[in-house]
Structure 1
Amino acid sequence: MSHQWMPASPCTDTCHSAYVRAGAVAVALRYVALVATAAVAVLLPLAVVLPAPRRRGVHRRYMLMVLRAFGVRVQVSDERGPAGEPGRGVLAVAGHVSWLDVLVLNSVDHGEYVARADLLDWPLIGRLARRVRVVPIDRGRLRDLPGVVDEAAERLRTGTRVVAFPEGTTWCGRAYGRLRPALFQAAVDSGAAVEPIELRYVRGDGTTETGVCFVGEQTLLASLRRTIHLPGVIAEVRRGPLQEPGVDRRELAERCERVVHGGHRREREVDVLLASAHVGSVAVVDRRPVPVQ
């Protein structure tokens, strides 16, 4: 059920970039690789016998395997600074572009995700979501939000790394939504550190690749097929400096938004502002290629 505060994005199917398809051989190999990764998934429960660090390593390598099967490579830069207190929970927040986001971020570091409830019902992706102990959230049920925040805070108190997408819905990667402050309350309540993450999908020349975005009226199957046919995608992950939660979730959200949306890029040209009166969101459009870090 929708409501006036439900996150919405002005991005549509028209946001998808015109793209050159990968060669037939490369596409065929990706389909074979995806079948192989689906078969390997049935063996993942065996990793439960391993110590936690090794088990997490197995899961991260598996996520990388799935991403490579889709033709996606991951590049990471780490600006977190000195490690925080041992055993302290961390709330990691990132912008939301695609169903790929959970795979990419889980290939970088372990975490338990706050994600759309119906993700658990998706083929293959749903199985992986259960592996990373998703905290399901139904954005259409506003009354459920306090319970989701409380669940996230409880996990943070136990030293867990919880990952969330505070935009609340997917955007195309050129336009962005505001980070909603509600989930930041979990960090304020638990005293957890917050890790803002900038996540971009780019082509080999550093320009934004919107072909991976999951927006508009498209189906999951159509999005999977289009991603497989892209000539190659680089997922850039910038792990920003850790933030102290403070006492004001809105101020905390604004601090993190500057990192998540690439406020550090002096070359960024903001030439279009899109406002959605329905949700009070503002989007910025980046039309200038940014070199791969």
Structure 2
Amino acid sequence: MNGAWDVWSACTPACATHAVRRVPATVTARRCAAFAHAVRRALTDGERMADPVRLRTHARALLTALGIRLESPAGALRAAADTRTRETRRGTAPAAGTPAPGGPGTLIVVNHISWLDIPALLAVEPVTLLAKREVGGWPVVGGLARRAGTHFIDRGNPRELPHAIDELTELLASGRSVAVFPQATTWCTGAQGTFRRATFQAAIDAGAPVRPVTLGYTQHGLPSTVAAFCGEDTFASSLRRTLAARGLTIGVTAHPPLSAQDAGHDRRTLAALAGTAVMGGPPRPTRHAPERAPAPQAPLCGTSPHLRAPAQAPHHV
């Protein structure tokens, strides 16, 4: 717990298990090399990566290098006009996070499972992200998030909350679509936790629609927790599991938008409706058990300094 408005999750690294057998070590090694190459290409792109086309390309390249399949319809994160999506396809869109013409942006509310949530979202639509300050220092993902125009907040300081909500309101009112993780921390499945209400006030004040989005992780069609990044897990150990995961797919499902202007939709109601849409009903407790027979893990591909990270604190975003 880093502050008065942090959330504690009961999930631990023991929750992260493979739903099917691992890939051979040779496949893990090939993915490792491909991932390191994709990271170098992304980071050497510098400020040019702020271009939505480049940002999306790099995010997809990282997922492809890890052997991850992304399932999402085009423009899934847009709740209103898709002007920016069309501009992006023509290669004429402004830098990621810049205002789109024609009314307020969309508050995109997403469940939070893994560090892979960020490249998955950026691979679908390079929207602005609202994340905790520590995310900016995460290997690989931090660089992508900064270049995507992410706005970082200090969750350890309760006095920052009103300022963060005011800033979010201004972003939405200016036409930017912003993705947030209202669960405030990571869980090993998408059916746990609750949506905190504060960010929904920004949608009400800006007159912005709310788009609930569900991220789901499967392996060969089976629900999987292998990508979960919870508790005292580290980026290195999470990356090892991901490199060895067979048939990992991230599904991005956009639900019908919610209107912040409907009668009776205060922030409490909006948070409850969005949480139900994203998590498929009331939060349910999940029992966690360690994997029965874990195989020895291959060494982290780890000569690149961009792939090294110290132990992480609980992951509140």
Shift of 1:82: 6.4
How many residue pairs get matched?
263
Amino acid corresponding to residue 38 of structure 1 in structure 2: V
- What are structure 2's unaligned runs of at least 5 residues? 83-100, 289-317
Matched with 1:232 is 247
Matched with 1:17 is 17
Cα distance in structure 2, aligned partners of 1:239 and 1:286:
27
Shift of 1:139: 2.5
Cα distance in structure 1, aligned partners of 2:205 and 2:34:
43
Does the CA contact (< 8 Å) of 1:153 and 1:190 recur in 2? yes
* Secondary structure at the counterpart of residue 129 of structure 2: strand
Does the CA contact (< 8 Å) of 2:113 and 2:190 recur in 1? no
- Within the candidate set 198, 209, 214, 1:182 is matched to 198
Does the CA contact (< 8 Å) of 1:174 and 1:284 recur in 2? no
Shift of 1:283: 3.7
Alignment TM-score, normalising by the size of structure 1:
0.82
Alignment TM-score, normalising by the size of structure 2:
0.76
User: Is 1:155 equivalent to 2:157 in the alignment?
Assistant: no
1:50-89 to structure 2, matched below 5 A, reads 55-77=51-73, 78=76, 83=81, 86-89=102-105
Does the CA contact (< 8 Å) of 2:111 and 2:190 recur in 1? no
- What are structure 1's unaligned runs of at least 5 residues? 49-54, 264-269, 271-281, 288-293
* Secondary structure at the counterpart of residue 211 of structure 1: coil
Does the CA contact (< 8 Å) of 1:174 and 1:208 recur in 2? no
Cα distance in structure 2, aligned partners of 1:160 and 1:11:
33
Cα distance in structure 1, aligned partners of 2:13 and 2:57:
32
Matched with 1:52 is none
Question: Per the alignment, do residues 86 and 197 of structure 1 end up closer, same or farther by CA in structure 2, a change over 3 Å counting?
Answer: same
1:265-276 to structure 2, matched below 5 A, reads none
Question: Per the alignment, do residues 198 and 284 of structure 1 end up closer, same or farther by CA in structure 2, a change over 3 Å counting?
Answer: farther
Q: CA RMSD in A?
A: 2.4
1:123-272 to structure 2, matched below 5 A, reads 123-173=139-189, 175-204=191-220, 206-246=221-261, 248-263=266-281
Amino acid corresponding to residue 254 of structure 2 in structure 1: R
Question: Per the alignment, do residues 286 and 111 of structure 1 end up closer, same or farther by CA in structure 2, a change over 3 Å counting?
Answer: farther
Cα distance in structure 1, aligned partners of 2:137 and 2:77:
35
Question: Per the alignment, do residues 183 and 230 of structure 1 end up closer, same or farther by CA in structure 2, a change over 3 Å counting?
Answer: same
Report the structure, 1 or 2, having the larger strand content.
Answer: 1
Shift of 1:92: 0.3
Does the CA contact (< 8 Å) of 2:188 and 2:228 recur in 1? yes
Dislocated runs of 4+, deviation >6 Å: 79-82
Instruction: Give per-residue Cα distances to partners, 1:3-47, cap 9 Å, x unaligned.
Output: 554211111122122452211221111111112112211125336
* Secondary structure at the counterpart of residue 198 of structure 2: coil
Instruction: Give per-residue Cα distances to partners, 1:230-263, cap 9 Å, x unaligned.
Output: 1131001101111111351110111111111134
Does the CA contact (< 8 Å) of 1:196 and 1:259 recur in 2? yes
Instruction: Give per-residue Cα distances to partners, 1:124-147, cap 9 Å, x unaligned.
Output: 221111111111123232221111
